[in-house]
Amino acid sequence: MIETIRRAFGRLFGRIRPTRITPVRPPETFVDGAEREIILRPYHPEDFEGLVRMYTTFDPAQRAQGTPPLAADAVREWLTGLLAGVNVVALDGDRPVGHISFVPDGTGRHELAIFVHQEFQHAGIGTRLMAVGLGHARHEGVGYVWLSVESWKRDIQRFYTRAGFSVINPMGTAHRMSRRL
């Protein structure tokens, strides 16, 4: 009971004064807000089909800028592109439940993509995945990261701000945010 109250207070305090997300090197294991043991580690080729399953069961209403694709073949093709960069997966047992990718854009910079399956959201996985992803990307030599986020998604923009990203282009329907590692 006391632990439940302490966790609830921590979540409330976190909303009032959110903590900064700082890079951490993988691997990391933690217990999420739903009492599941989550492992965060660099992507391994044997994770591919598990990621395909995660993305094909992703809620279409939560897609961002057309990703992830809906059909399994399209997911496989899209995922192959993501895997050209630095990647970290969040695992519940051996099941991928989250994924962060830093995809080279051909200019020496990397585009960030992060997804947490809807069954595992709001439990702290995204925050830890971002921290471990940034730490792994830094270790792998990534120096500059950027992303696009829809302008009306203020909560997601605040999440990225906590991870050290700044808005560099606030125009249009999508804002571009970036940070150096």
pLDDT tens for each residue of 103-134? 999 999 999 999 999 999 999 999 999 999 99
Q: Is the pLDDT of residue 68 over 90?
A: no
Amino acid at 120: F
Q: Is the pLDDT of residue 15 over 60?
A: no
pLDDT given at position 69: 80
What phi and psi values does residue 6 have, to the nearest 5 degrees?
A: -65, -40
Q: How far is CA 43 from CA 89, 99, 109, 143, 161, in A?
A: 6, 9, 20, 20, 25
Q: Which pLDDT band, with edges at 50, 70 and 90, does 4 fall under?
A: low
Amino acid at 131: A
pLDDT given at position 62: 77
Q: Is the pLDDT of residue 16 over 60?
A: no
Q: Is the pLDDT of residue 14 over 90?
A: no
Q: Is the pLDDT of residue 92 over 80?
A: yes
Average pLDDT estimate for 45-69: 88
Average pLDDT estimate for 24-31: 96
Going by C-beta distance under 8 Å and a sequence separation of 6 or more, which residues neighbour residue 117? Answer: 54, 57, 58, 97, 98
Q: Do 98 and 108 contact (CB within 8 A), yes or no?
A: no
Average pLDDT estimate for 86-94: 98
**Ordered structural domains, the chain, with CATH:** 22-142 (3.40.630.30)
